[in-house]
Amino acid sequence: MCTDIYLPLKDLSIILTEKVFMNKQPIIDFFDCQAPQWDADLVRDEEVIARILDNAGIQPGASVLDVACGTGVLVPDYLKRAVTSVTGVDISSQMIALAKKKFSDPRVSFICADIETLRFENRFDCAVVYNAFPHFFEPENLIEKLAGDLKPGGLLTIAHGMSRASIDQHHEGRAQAVSIRLMPIDQLEKCLKPKFNVIVKISNKRMYQIVGERKAY
């Protein structure tokens, strides 16, 4: 049985100035409950997704880390672009179970884990956080972790297929307990700058995206 837990939608200025010791079980429970209808409820703007992936450097030969991959909604897009590998990571076991059922391509693997504590043997060309960033309550920690998962010159993409205002409005419902507000793009750029050179920055009525190129170690 799925139960909804409602907590105040936290303002990001508080999140960035106070240490948050977060129990992630509510996030796991929420997305486990959402998993069965996730694909049926999916809304895609193909033009926006194509632009996001172009900007993200998803091209032939790339190794891709898909952060909070869910059921693998972007995996077909990665494969169409002839990537070498896709590693999808999600904290929800039900999301990962569905993703594994959908894809048998040997280039694709899925891991049920907390990306913020997961360690990889190899580094990636691209890391993509698509439609998931507000569910990370300590965004600067996530950015620093993903910087370590990328090769020098690798690209980190944080993106949404709708506007910042629409994302915040969307999360004021049942997702309120497991979300924070999406920060303004200029503020996110400041978070990336210690580890990344920002090469793409878009925030408009159709999409939100920032791309950082990993600085040399």
- pTM listed for this prediction: 0.88
CATH H-level, domain 12-214: superfamily? Vaccinia Virus protein VP39 (3.40.50.150)
pLDDT recorded at residue 7: 32
So where are the chain's domains? 12-214
Angle (CA) 2 6 9, round 5°: 135
Question: What average pLDDT does this structure show over 38-51?
Answer: 92
pLDDT recorded at residue 16: 30
Tokens for 101, please give them: 């059922």
Mapped onto helix, strand or coil, the DSSP state of residue 132 is coil
Q: How far apart are the C-alpha atoms of 137 and 118, rounded to whole Å?
A: 17
pLDDT tens for residues 100-125?
Answer: 999 999 999 999 999 999 999 999 99
Q: How confident is the model at residue 5 (pLDDT cuts 50, 70, 90)?
A: very low
pLDDT tens for residues 119-172?
Answer: 999 999 999 999 999 999 999 999 999 999 999 999 999 999 999 998 888 777
pLDDT tens for residues 23-32?
Answer: 899 999 999 9
Single out the residue of 200, 187, 214 nearest to residue 13, CA to CA: 187
Mapped onto helix, strand or coil, the DSSP state of residue 130 is strand
